[in-house]
Amino acid sequence: MATLSFPRPQAATLAGEPRQERLRDRFGRAITDLRLSVTDRCNYRCVYCRTGEEGAIYSELATEDYLRMARILISLGIEKIRLTGGEPLLRSGLVEMVRELAELRTAFLPDGTPTATGQPVDLALTTNGHLLDLLAEPLKRAGLGRVTVSMDAVEPETFAAITRVPKSFERVLSGVRKAAEVGLGPVKINCVLLRGFNDHQIEAFAEFSRRESVIVRFIEFMPLEEDRSWRPDTVVRMEELIDRLNAFRPLVELPPHAASETARRYTFDDGLGEIGVIAPVSRPFCGHCSRIRITSDGKLRTCLFSQSDYDLYGRMLRGGTDEELRAYIREIVFQKEERHHIGEPGFEKPSRNMVHIGG
């Protein structure tokens, strides 16, 4: 008996595009996480990050350019977008951008199967918190999921000495509380520890986590600063940090949420407070890296420590179609670096510093 066969309809993904393979590099790592820098302006001059304003040239793209890049990357398997900068809350039109991003849906199921219905993209933002009290609520209403606030001290003098901005500490504190109140939690606090600047704050941060019900994450200082002042002995390494915290109160390790999670998670023996330790210098996590970055001027970067970046925006300007841009992204991502080489002989600092990459 003759069988009838019909051509299988070309299933459409979310944006009506043909189905894609999930983005992977040559080591088989699935790339699911995008850091999107929406400005390289910043209202702080943190001692470990920026030198100053003089002669600074800034670059931002139009909102629709970032949105197009995000849509294309989501069609390739990006599931999480973290908005960053510079300081993203300085970006005009941010709330509107968040609203549009929050409407995008992932193109793959967790097992990697393409889907036409997808989950909402996991949308987060990293901020210094100076404007958060004002913007937390509108951002939440626009669809933002979570915030991470960078805060390198929990008392005003050290805070001002590091950020080189007076009287911001109280604003950041009320921003953190506002974010928790409107549901942008659990709020994470990122603290870069610098020996001689804020390492006396470790125990105070532990108390802060317990008192404010926020997750405090300590980050090892990386050689990404503008003034090239990084030295190995400025880094407060994970081992030393864990000893200090254990002496404050015994730590209990918590299971990771995902293999690609950058932080080791701990609570204390009474279950109060949560501490994350991000140790890119002493315990690199490159083997599970799922991240790529887009700089505020539209360059694609495959590693914080890349020596080059790739001009995705240039391709868009020259009229690249979505399909051409996808092919370009695949080609670049395939060559993602295996790992960084911090602390090894011959280590070269990356072609850009943190504020111009997007942390």
Give the footprint of ligand SAM on this chain (CB under 6 A): 42, 48-49, 84-85, 87, 126-128, 150, 190, 192, 219, 221-222, 224-225, 354-355, 359
- Closest contact distance (angstroms) between CB of 89 and ligand SAM is 8
Nearer to ligand SAM, 25 or 220 (CB): 220
**Cβ distance to ligand SAM smaller for residue 142 or 224:** 224
CB of 167 to ligand SAM, least distance (A): 17
Backbone angles phi, psi at 244, to 5 degrees: -65, -45
Nearer to ligand SAM, 23 or 278 (CB): 278
Q: Which is nearer to ligand SAM, 46 or 73 (by Cβ)? A: 46
- Whose Cβ is closer to ligand SAM: residue 8's or residue 167's? 167
Give the shortest CB-150-to-ligand SAM separation in angstroms: 3
Cβ 217 to ligand SAM, closest distance in Å? 9
User: From the CB of 84, what's the least distance to ligand SAM, in Å?
Assistant: 5
Three-class DSSP labels, the chain: CCCCCCCCCCCECCCCCECCCCCECCCCCECCEEEEECCCCCCCCCCCCCCCCCCCCCCCCCHHHHHHHHHHHHHCCCCEEEEECCCHHHCCCHHHHHHHHHCCECCECCCCCECCCCCECEEEEEECCCCHHHHHHHHHHHCCCEEEEECCCCCHHHHHHHHCCCCCHHHHHHHHHHHHHHCCCCCEEEEEEECCCCHHHHHHHHHHHHHHCCEEEEEECCCCCCCCCCCHHHECCHHHHHHHHHHHCCEEEECCCCCCCCEEEEEECCCCCEEEEECCCCCCCHHHCCEEEECCCCEEECCCCCCCCEEHHHHHHCCCCHHHHHHHHHHHHHCCCCCCCCCCCCCCCCCCCHHHHCC
Which residue is closest to ligand SAM by CB?
359
CB of 214 to ligand SAM, least distance (A): 14
Q: Which is nearer to ligand SAM, 14 or 304 (CB)?
A: 304
Least distance to ligand SAM, CB of residue 277, Å: 13
25 vs 152, which CB is nearer to ligand SAM?
Answer: 152
